[in-house]
Chain A
Amino acid sequence: MALTTAAGPTLREPQPSRITGRRRGSGKGPVREGPAGYVFLSPWLLGLMGITAVPMLLSLYLSFTNYDIFTPISEVEWVGLDNYRRMFTTDPTFWKSVTVTAKFGLIAVPLKLAVALGVALLLNRERRGVGLFRSLFYLPSLLGGSVAVALAWYTMFSRDGAFNTFLRLFGIQGKPWVADPDFALETVMVLAIWQFGAPMVIFLAGLKQIPGELYEAASVDGAGRWRQFVHVTLPMLSPVIFFNLVLETIHGFQGFTGVFIISNGQGGPVDSTLMYTLNLYIKGFTDFEMGYAAALAWLFLIVVGLITVVLFTTGRFWVHYSDER
């Protein structure tokens, strides 16, 4: 598409004479071939336009209409801001889904990172067997996003599940966790935290980068373990913490498989597991209110974008980049 227009030979730097030909080459710099560049780029450009940009713009338009998938797009009715107004005023499930997602993001993500950091700190002190521990801790991260593990979770935290039997060993009477509106989301949070291995591996790599001299200097200055942790480890690790925080937050907001399986695609009990993405799915693919779902998707994009911006802005105040970086 942009191939013909943008492929002209306009380059900033003088180009080796075309007449002498590429054959001899200049021996300097990378290949300077506008047309070749766009030829190689064309699948990606086509995907960007066709699979990403155009559908997004189309859905922006449809978010202002009452489109359901049964009417042809040419016959949809423009409803202005109705869909967006509906979210904030008349649709209680919208606010419920926002609350559930925020709760998940604010509790599960920090806890997951805390566990990941804690285990990384413990592992970092070891010299032998680190590789094995690291791999085994990572395994849940690889498998945990699957339907299979979500099914196991559902069974494990049901009324007669293994978790309650375990509690009974300590004389605690359990609950049907997945069926209890006060605890269903928590079981999904535990599922998320259980997958702490991926951020842990990243923390571990970060810890290895901290020069040992810093600790020696700190201990010469009389700093105990706790103060070394606060004044050396945390600041030195802050870029990695930040990286993990951004990644896990964006990832956490998109949780779908866990809540879908545990609530059998309903978001129950009493909408307690209605994550934003699940609500989006129900509105779009169960109720077929595509126009409304498109509006939900756009709002989601804007909010996730804003949160990313907020994270990056606040990050400036606590993320410490040492000079070498």
Chain B
Amino acid sequence: MSAEAPALPAARRSGVPGVRQVGRILVLIAILAVALYPLLWMVASSFKSQTEISVAGNISLIPREFTPGNYREGWAMLGEPFSSFFINSLVIAGLTIVGNIASCLVAAYAFARLRFRLRHFWFAVMIGTLLLPQHVLVIPQYILFRTLNWTGTIAPLVVPHFLATEAFFVFLMVQFMRGIPRELDEAAMIDGCGPFQVFLRIILPLSRPAIVTTTIFSFIWTWNEFFRQLVYLSDITQWTVPVALRQFIDSSGQSAVGPMFAMSVLSLLPVFLFFLFFQRLLVEGINTSGIKG
């Protein structure tokens, strides 16, 4: 595949699809099949009966015996209904989204539009925190939140987002705001707007695309997040979806594979829906900024 040159002179490109092109498409389809198989297999397995699953190695993508009961069973299996875990995950994701948007917007506005002492220094610091591996902070923050008696609550998972600690979104919004014509600010200032008014009336409404991107990625990241939720949420009433899913291996071993897949599929559904509706934005998003899924 490495021998493929990305573009050819027009003369060679035109004409009927050659053997090469057919071969290429077949290779792409084969890779796609491998890439999608695990996901499709998960969905299929969530509808398979316990006997079918435990038969050594079922690779089929069509359940022999359609068993929607896995969903009912899995929903109630962990002592607390899954609705509770979903609500907990949603609450954390919702608060994270609100916090990220509010705090990152104001910080980005300061960096992108306002002049103040040490602006370049603080901007460099912000870029520095962008490169800081998240796991490095887990221990220090745990110590902090424990001294504050916040462990066992969702505060450690949510409060940092109200303080613009997700530098990535600050950066994204700064980049976006720099693209908003300054003439708009200036016109508003001539009309008597101060920095606060400029922010509220000009920058905020025009930043909508950046806000949408932040919302989507905040949601997906928080929904998939595991490490912190595992560390801070010990009580079953506070468990989020990933923390709960993990228990399927912990407690019941291989015996509950069907229900485990059923709940796994449900847990992926929200992110998948975001993918369906915003796929263009998601793909373009990583193009411009290298966001990870």
Interface residues of A (CB under 8 A from B): 6-8, 10-11, 22-25, 27-38, 40-41, 43-48, 50-52, 54-56, 58-59, 62, 67, 69, 73, 117-119, 121-126, 133-149, 151-156, 158, 160-166, 168, 194-195, 197-198, 201-202, 205, 207, 210, 212, 215-216, 219, 225-226, 228-229, 232-233, 243-244, 247, 250-251, 253-254, 256-257, 260-261, 264, 277, 280-281, 284-285, 290, 293-294, 296-298, 300-301, 304, 308
Contact = CB atoms under 8 A, between A and B. Distances in A.
Interface of B is mostly: helix
A202 B267 contact: no
Contact of A41 (B41, B45, B110, B230): B110
A116 to B, nearest CB: 11
B43 to A, nearest CB: 10
A31 B6 contact: no
A59 B140 contact: yes
A187 to B, nearest CB: 12
A165 B283 contact: no
Interface stretch (B62-70, B76-84, B206-214, B285-293): B285-293
B129 A133 contact: no
Given A139-B272, A219-B9, 11 more contacts: A25-B192, A31-B113, A51-B137, A148-B242, A148-B268, A197-B293, A201-B286, A257-B227, A281-B138, A284-B142, A285-B142
B28 A133 contact: yes
20 contacts: A6-B116, A11-B115, A30-B113, A31-B194, A33-B194, A44-B110, A51-B160, A147-B245, A152-B41, A155-B45, A160-B54, A195-B293, A201-B286, A215-B8, A215-B9, A216-B9, A233-B5, A254-B134, A281-B227, A297-B138
B103 A44 contact: yes
A122 B4 contact: yes
B16 interface: no
B38 A25 contact: no
Most buried by A among B146, B190, B257, B292: B292
Interface string B6-20: 111100000000000
Contact of A280 (B113, B138, B254): B138
Contact of A136 (B32, B241, B271): B32
A2 B109 CA distance: 18
B261 A247 contact: no
B236 interface: no
A210 B107 contact: no
Given A10-B117, A31-B189, A195-B293, A207 B160 contact: no
B144 interface: yes
A69 B146 contact: yes
Interface of A is mostly: helix
Contacts of B224: 143, 145-146, 257
Contacts of A142: 220, 271, 275, 282, 293
B107 to A, nearest CB: 4
Nearest to B163: A47
B176 interface: no
A297 B245 contact: no
Nearest to B199: A40
Contact of A23 (B2, B139, B192, B220): B192
Given A37-B116, A154-B249, A43 B162 contact: yes
